[in-house]
Structure 1
Amino acid sequence: MNSTTRNFGSFEFDKNGVRFKYRIQTATGDHFDEIFEQLGYDFLKQERLNAAMNIISDFEAVEIHKSVWRDMVCNGTTLIALVENDCVEQGKIIGFNFTYVEKKDEDFSWASSNKMCRQMSKVLSEVSRPGNIFEKYNVDRYLAAFGLMVHVDFAGSGIGYRLLESRQKLCKCLGLSATGTVFTGYISQHLATKLGFEVLSSLDDEHIDFGDIESHLDDTKGKDIKFMALRYT
């Protein structure tokens, strides 16, 4: 388990006349339970693909998410936003981005018999694989991600932007020159575009295949899913 944190800067924002200060850093295994309890369930309920499949209703699928995310945290690649001043509970985690290193010859896989997780993995692969990030950027590894969430009380405060922005510093620490992610909603796609991410491949909602899983995509949050990437110079 990685117990060393990397700090990537402190930031401030005003909310209802109160000045908040927070920092972006990597998480350690000790942070995982707090991350999941505070934000993990919200992500599973609100992120478009997870919500469409109602994954939160499948106990096994939720536990598999937790296991995959825990591994990412313990590997030292997860980014979190923590409150630094006493406007709310100091040290409170108000945002996360579960990231990991994707390798050319080792496809990220759920390796699970759970139907929902297998289908989710298939959908993510169908949108990202055509992007050919390894060939396009001439890399054999890149920083991938599997979930970004900001606490609902702090939405619109720039935290999601800072989490995405901090990937560049994390990549430098890890010896990586590129990052790429499937962004499923308008907001995350907009933030990625502002930071210079380009769309390598995309899939319109009507072409997303959920197999025989009953599903309903919220079209108020997006019309497609996009694999977007950024190469750092």
Structure 2
Amino acid sequence: PLAVRSSSLLEDALDHPFAGVYGTKMIPNNQIDEDQRFQALCAAIRFVYAATYLKTAQDYFDGSGRDHAAEKMAVILQEVVGDRHGDRYYPVMSGVARSFNYYPSGAAKPTDGVVNLALGLGRQIVDGGLSWGYSPAYPAAPPPFADVGDRMRSTQTTFWSVNMGTPPPPDPMRETEYLERTDLEVAAADGVLDHLVSTYDPRSDRLRMGCAGVGPRVLDFARSWWVRPYR
């Protein structure tokens, strides 16, 4: 699969950066017919350029006080990282790192930054969906939840993947044309959750690492078995 995304001058501006304002189109790039594959790529490129004229982008322009003529854009093609599971293609995890944390907890400071992790494509995080957050300086610190119930209510329950199966009806102006949003149980059937979740044990009212048990699962990336403090 390919990610067709924008690369513009204003996306990295220090004041009013336009990162995330324009669209990114992911395409399966698996059609047997080369012409169909090429046409799908061309349509994705046109979508990215056309995204500069969408109302959300125009409103952001107006709010930032930027001159529309100051924007210059190229289009980048990137290979989507992940693995294929049946008709779905997605990474085990994706993440977004920020250098400043507006809501630190415990011993963490705002300048320690924050990392958000999600199963599947990073659209889950970029769109403001539920994800697992932690401070890079204190990856093993207890999460800022009042109790186990609060943690279960705040966990990711769906994930995004690229649809590698039967193409959907053409909808070239929809950013998620070739994407699927799927329940977490599908990822369990794909066998990717073993090191990513903890399972609720109602007898002890605790979360136990791994998929063992039949209780609800919390996507906490097996707590911090794989992360080291970063400073």
Q: Which TM-score applies when normalising by structure 2? A: 0.24
Structure number with larger C-alpha Rg: 2
Higher relative contact order (CA 8 A, sep 6+): 1
Higher helix fraction: Structure 1 or Structure 2?
1
Q: Which TM-score applies when normalising by structure 1? A: 0.24
